[in-house]
Structure formats: C-alpha cells, structure tokens
Structure 1
Amino acid sequence: MPARDKNGHLIPVQQLHPGDHAFVSYGNDEIRWDVITAFVRLGLARGEKVMVLPCPAVPEEEVLARIDFPSRSTASARERGQLVLSSMRAVIRPDAEFTAARQLGRLHAETDRATAEGYTGLRAFIDMGWVAALGTDLAAVAHRETHADGLFSGRPYTEICAYDRRRFDRAMVAAMEGAHPHALLERLGSLRSVRGAEDELCFIGEADGANRAAFMRSLEIALARTAPDRRLTVDLTRLHFLSVGCAGALLALAHGAAGHDLVEVRCGPGHRRLLRRLGADAMPRLAMREVIRPC
C-alpha cells in the first residue's frame, strides 16, 4: 500500500525551485552523488550560482571528479566562479563555532551577492557531515533547520540538506525529514507512489520502461481500492518523466476500469499533451485536469 503524503512533501530533485528548502538522506557512498550532481547541473543550466558543501570526510579531488562526471562541463563553471566548493568552516568564518545566526546571515549575504553578480539566484548543497566535524550540538542543528524561513521566503535561494543515515540516528533523520518543507527521492530514475489528499494516487519521480511494472501495479491496486467509490484521482504532477509505455498503460487500465464512473488525471501541460496524443480525449470516463506547478 502506498504511503500517505497529503501535502506534496516528497518530490524529485528536478522539481526544486527558488525558495525551496529540501531534505535528502542516503546510506550508501555511491547513492549520495545522484542528487548532488543533478542539483548542481540544473542550477548551472538555470543561471544560478551554486555552492557545494560536501562531507568533510570526502577528499576534494573525489568531489570534483564526481560532479564533473561524465563530462567536464562543470570545470568551466568553477573557473568563472559560478560553481563554488566550500565548507561550513568557511561559511561561519571568522567564528570557530557554529551558530544558526552566523550561518543564516552569511547565506543571506551570499544570495544577495549572487544576484548582484548577475546570477538568477543561489543554490546550496550542504552535506550535514559538517555537524560531527565541528562538534556541533544536534539541538542547534535542529533549531536552525526549523527556523530558517527568512532565508527562503520570497528569495532566490534553494537549499538541500543531506543526511547520511550512518552518521545520524534514526530519530534525528526522521525528525529532520519532517522539519523540511520538501523531501527528495534519493535516487535518480526511481519511482514512488503515495496516497495523497482524498485518497488520490500520486506518482513521484520517473515512470519509464524500467518502472513500468511497478507503475501498473500501483494503478491496479488503486483501482481495486477505489472501486466502492467508483472514482479514482491519479496525480502525475510530481513526475519528472512519463514514458509513452507508462502513459499507454494508464489509459489502458482506465479504459478497462468498468467499475469506475470517473478516472481523473492531474498532470502538467507536457504530460497532458502526451496523453491526448495517445487518445485520452476519446475515453468518456477519463478526465484530465491540467495543473501548473509553481516556478
């Protein structure tokens, strides 16, 4: 059964926008690079300045090699100052100990500096490995994470806080996930299904050929669950990618759902065009509602 997610909390990294404060966790040295590389490259493509504060335990050479792979397009961004590798020690300098006020003030100033330099905003990836490296009290970290609205509200700043599940206990990770307005899928190319408001079925991530079986299974379960109500709402707005195969499977299952009076599909303009090309308009029990996610 899909987990419940009534407030659009879980999203793919590709749907982050200025003003977003997001959580991600990882428990594997390879997986950690999925989100960071996508976050960096999307920021550069959007004309933002990008700061990366990697785990202090990871050598700088490895960080650069990872974010440069599979090409060295990020090297030129570093040369012109659009991509900056930093650390929490550098952010709070000249202070030696972390305080939320010092960190927030510096990031606020760096955002203003980025826009003054002609960038569209600032985005920062902060691996929370710095907490142990600086010997910072976890209560101070939690307070910062839950009292940072002024850094984001109405401002062109985007931040990911990455927690290594091997470094933080389960309760801390769960609390920090809940404290952030958004949580991110930790792997690119993955697909999650969750139950949203009013029992709708929400897909998050990438519905491609590799995930087609899971996509269909979630739809079949949701159709069975909602048979007594004779209606199902399917939310595609948090999909970064929808393949032709998965779109066709959705239409085929909706067409065969004789026990339903209505299958409503909430989607963005691109996915709506794809569904229409596959014949969605000719299906009487299928209704599409276009939703524009905020930029």
Structure 2
Amino acid sequence: MEPWFTRRSVGELLPGDHAWLSYADQEEHDHVIGAFVRDGLAGADKVIYITGDGPRDLPDLRSRYRLEPETYLRSGQLAILPQEETCLTRGVFDPARMTTTLREVLHRAETERFRGVRVTVDMTPAFRRSGGRDAVLECEARVDAAISPSTMAIAICQVDARSCTPEELTALKERHEVLVGADPYFDDGVLSITPTFHPRGLRLSGELDGARHAVFAESLRKVVERGGEVHLNLAGLRFIDLGALSMMAGAAMHTGARVVLDDPATELSDIVELVGSRLLPWLEIGDGEAR
C-alpha cells in the first residue's frame, strides 16, 4: 500500500508534476514518452528531451503520431539535449549541473512565451555509471524542488527497469509523488480500456456491455495480433456480459494466443466456470497484477 503516490496517465499530468516512469521494454517507453512529447508539441509547449543517446533515443513520432521531429527542432519548440552538455562534469554525473540546466530551461521557456514546458530525462545512462545510484537520487530531489512549485512545467524522469535492482527501483520511485502510465485506449466514463505491459495486455475498468463490444474488440485485436500470452486485468471491472467473454475466447481460439483473466471478481470467475466446457479451453483464470 502506497498512499502517498498519485497514479496518472500521461494525458492527465498537471503543471508541477514531477513524474516517474520505470519501463521494461521499448514498447512501454515509446507508448508513454511518445504521448508526452506529442501532447506537448500539439499543445504549444516547449519540449526538452535530455538523453544519453541523442536523437536515436526519441520515440518514433513519425509512424506513431505522424509528426516530423525536424519541423519542431527547427522551430525551437523541441530541443534534444545530450547529457554530456547538461548533466555531466568531466564525465561524472553531476546533480548540481543538472539542476542548473533545468532552471535555465524553465526560465528560457518563460521568456520564449510558450504555454508550458515539458522535460523528460532518461536517467539510465547516469545510473549505470560508477556511483550513479546516489547521484541520481540526489538529482531527483533537486528536480522535484525545481518542478513542484512551477505553474507551467511538467517533468518525467525515466529509467530502464532492467538496469536496476528492485531495491534501487523502490528508492527511485520514492523520490516522486506521481507515477505515470499509459493513456487509455478508450474511456467513456462507463468503461476504461488501458494497455498494460508487465504482463502485456489490457486493464478493464467499469462495465463492459454490448454497447462497447466494438471498442473492446479493437483494443483486444491490438494486443492479441502480436501473438504470445495476453493478460486481461479485470480487477476494476464491475460487469461483463457473455458476449464479451465469447469475444475473449474467440480471439484466443482463432489466433492461438493464451488469454489469461487476472483478478476477476468472484462472480465473473463463477460465470467462466459455469460455461467452462465452451470457454476454458481458451481462457484461463489468473491472479497477476498488470501495470
């Protein structure tokens, strides 16, 4: 139980949010950070991307969102800053220099009269350096002090979870009050469908009835067509009709994907067991927690 954390989708981030993303693969990284960059460019924000890998580290905005990064780089709305020029002193990660850079970026964005400013930095290269853990933790505290009072700035600090131990990830997460995740594929106030990545699948919340079969089918197709195991987290689902269950089973049957229903309500588990002779060959009940 982590009551001091606020979980927001990337589209719900607010000025003053110093958010945290630990990603475990490129798909999750591009889904969240790509949306963060896209929303900023579409909304007339200054977008600053601090990276250790240069432009190669930028999410694929062309294929995902039909945006041409060069257009925004030329206009100055998008800036890609190498860590060597913003975070390192004689090759060592320097929290003080990072803070100075951040404050300069915020001040410059104000004078350039952008609506807001979005900053994202991948801490993974710094974390991998000698002494990187302590330096990154100090840096996070400094970033929070710079971002939290702001009325125009939003920041996402990222790290590749594969480069850290669970204890290190916990320490990093505790430097943030906002944990950021993917935007929903669909949310009409009755049903919310959100992609998950660990394990890969969908999180369903609310009520899934016949009026929402079409949007559910499209969301399910996006994850099932890639093959492999698909998890549907149903912990927040209050109602599902038999038609939607049949769609889940049909998707598994026709594609060969293993579809696992995680954290279903007792009533839903009873329904699956009741019609088990028809559905259980393709649907399994699990208890995993997707993020």
- Report if TM-score (shorter chain) is over 0.5: yes
Contact preservation (8 Å) 2:128, 2:163: no
Aligned to 2:48: 51
Contact preservation (8 Å) 2:61, 2:68: no
Aligned to 1:185: 181
C-alpha spacing 1:178/1:150, structure 2 compared with 1 (3 Å):
closer
Q: One-letter code of the match for 1:164?
A: D
Measured in 2, the distance between the counterparts of 1:146 and 1:79 equals 33
Shift of 1:161: 0.9
Unaligned runs of 5+ in 2: 186-192, 196-202, 207-211, 221-231, 240-291
Contact preservation (8 Å) 2:204, 2:237: no
Contact preservation (8 Å) 2:16, 2:154: yes
Residue deviations 1:206-249 (CA, integer Å, cap 9, x gap): 877437985686336xxxxxxxxxxxxxxxxxxxxxxxxxxxxx
Measured in 1, the distance between the counterparts of 2:147 and 2:109 equals 15
Shift of 1:128: 1.5
Aligned to 1:31: 28
Task: After TM superposition, list the pairs within 5 Å mapping 1:161-176 onto structure 2.
Answer: 161-176=157-172
C-alpha spacing 1:216/1:41, structure 2 compared with 1 (3 Å):
same
Task: After TM superposition, list the pairs within 5 Å mapping 1:221-240 onto structure 2.
Answer: none
Task: After TM superposition, list the pairs within 5 Å mapping 1:112-127 onto structure 2.
Answer: 112-127=107-122
Decide which of 86, 100, 103 is 1:105's aligned counterpart.
100
The answer on 1:67 being equivalent to 2:61 is: yes
Aligned residues: 205
Shift of 1:89: 1.3
Contact preservation (8 Å) 1:53, 1:86: yes
The answer on 1:152 being equivalent to 2:184 is: no
The answer on 1:142 being equivalent to 2:137 is: yes
SS of 2:179's equivalent in the other structure is: strand
SS of 2:109's equivalent in the other structure is: helix
Q: One-letter code of the match for 1:128?
A: M
Measured in 1, the distance between the counterparts of 2:16 and 2:160 equals 24
Residue deviations 1:52-103 (CA, integer Å, cap 9, x gap): 12353xx634636x12324134331111011111222121366543222221
Contact preservation (8 Å) 2:205, 2:234: no
Q: Percent same amino acid at aligned positions?
A: 23
Residue deviations 1:118-171 (CA, integer Å, cap 9, x gap): 212321111112215654531121122134333113322211111111111111
Instruction: Calculate the aligned-residue CA RMSD, in Å.
Output: 3.3
Q: TM-score, normalised by structure 2?
A: 0.60
SS of 2:58's equivalent in the other structure is: helix
Q: TM-score, normalised by structure 1?
A: 0.59
Contact preservation (8 Å) 1:52, 1:126: yes
SS of 1:85's equivalent in the other structure is: strand
Q: One-letter code of the match for 1:67?
A: L
SS of 1:161's equivalent in the other structure is: strand
Measured in 1, the distance between the counterparts of 2:91 and 2:43 equals 34
Measured in 2, the distance between the counterparts of 1:165 and 1:34 equals 16
Kindly indicate whether structure 1 or structure 2 has the higher relative contact order, using CA contacts under 8 Å at least 6 residues apart. Answer: 1
SS of 2:114's equivalent in the other structure is: coil
C-alpha spacing 1:133/1:166, structure 2 compared with 1 (3 Å):
closer
Contact preservation (8 Å) 1:24, 1:186: no
